Amino acid sequence: MLFSLSVIPIGTGSSLGDQLAKVLKIIDESGLPYKTNPMGTAIEGEWDEVMELIKKCHQSVMASNERAYLIINVDDRKSKPNRLEGKVKSVEERLGRELKK
C-alpha cells in the first residue's frame, strides 16, 4: 500500500523547516521504505504500520503547535508490491524516456 503524507504546522510563522525536519527524521528512522519530495513524502507499508508512523509524526508536530493540518493520500492496489519503485518505472517504460525525479 502506498501513502503520501504532507504535514502543515499552523500558527508558528511561515518557515516550517525545523518542524518538517523533525517529521522527516521520524520517517527516516522508522525503517519503512519512503521517498520524500518537495510537496510531501511517499511511504510504502501495511495500513497499521504506516498509520502508526503518521500518528507519531502528527504527535511530534502537535507537541510544539496549537494546530496542524495533515494531508494523507492512500493508493491501495491488490497484489502489487514494491510500488514505491515500480510505479514511476512502469510509466517511464511506457514512455521510453526517463522522467525528472
Query: Cβ 97 to a second copy, closest distance in Å?
Result: 7
**How big is the site for a second copy, counted in residues (CB under 8 A)?**
58
- Choose, by CB under 8 A, the member of 31, 45, 49, 71 that binds a second copy: 71
Query: Cβ 80 to a second copy, closest distance in Å?
Result: 8
Of residues 15-54, which lie at the interface with a second copy (CB under 8 A)?
Answer: 16-18, 20-21, 24-25, 28, 33-40, 42, 47, 51
| Long-range CB contact pairs, 56-64, < 8 A, 24+ | 56/26, 56/30, 57/5, 57/7, 57/23, 57/26, 57/27, 58/7, 60/22, 60/23, 60/26, 61/7, 61/9, 61/19, 61/22, 61/23, 64/9, 64/12, 64/19
